[in-house]
A = this chain, B = another copy of it.
Amino acid sequence: MAMELDRCGITCIHEEAVEEVQKAMLGEDVAGSLAELFKALGDPTRVKILFALMTRELCVCDIALVIGVSESAVSHQLRVLRTMRLIKFRREGRILWYSLADSHVRGLFAQGLEHVTE
């Protein structure tokens, strides 16, 4: 919060490095949005839900069975995934079929898995 850009007390500054990085730096808002997106992906339950949906669309109780958690827990997590526009759904009677919103999740998971399994 305290942006002391006059660098009171800080001594080991490498000026050109700092300036160069400052220029390319992303804004507070974008950094926040990015962090929110990754935070949404940063939970085992949500990872499993998304991975399950990578195979095919599923209803809530199918997801609950596949990943082994309560339907209520799944529903709560589906909401945060929906909020982040990571998934979408279509209604068929009283059943809601959930699916991935776009291809970004696949890309992110692919990159993530590469890093994790190397």
Q: Please report A residues at the B interface, Cβ cutoff 8 Å.
A: 1-3, 5, 7, 10-14, 17-18, 20-22, 24-26, 28, 30-44, 46-48, 51-52, 54-56, 58-59, 61-62, 64-68, 71, 85-86, 95, 102, 104, 107-109, 111-117
User: Which residues on B sit within 8 Å (CB–CB) of A113?
Assistant: 30, 34
Give chain B residues whose Cβ lies under 8 Å from the Cβ of A85: 115
Known: A14-B62, A18-B65, A56-B17. A43 touches B39 (CB 8 A): yes
Shortest beta-carbon distance from A43 to chain B in Å: 5
A104→B115 contact, CB < 8 A: yes
Total copies of this chain within the assembly: 2
Shortest beta-carbon distance from A76 to chain B in Å: 16
Contact across chains for B111 and A18 when beta carbons are under 8 A apart? no
B95 touches A115 (CB 8 A): no
Minimum Cβ distance to chain B for residue A14 (Å): 6
Query: How long is the Cα–Cα vector from A25 to B115 in the complex, in angstroms?
Result: 19
Cα–Cα distance between A44 and B48 once the two chains are bound (Å): 24
18 additional A-B pairs beyond A12-B62, A34-B112, A111-B111, beta carbons within 8 Å, are A2-B68, A7-B65, A12-B61, A13-B65, A20-B55, A21-B62, A21-B66, A25-B48, A28-B44, A32-B44, A35-B46, A36-B42, A39-B39, A39-B42, A42-B42, A86-B115, A107-B114, A108-B115
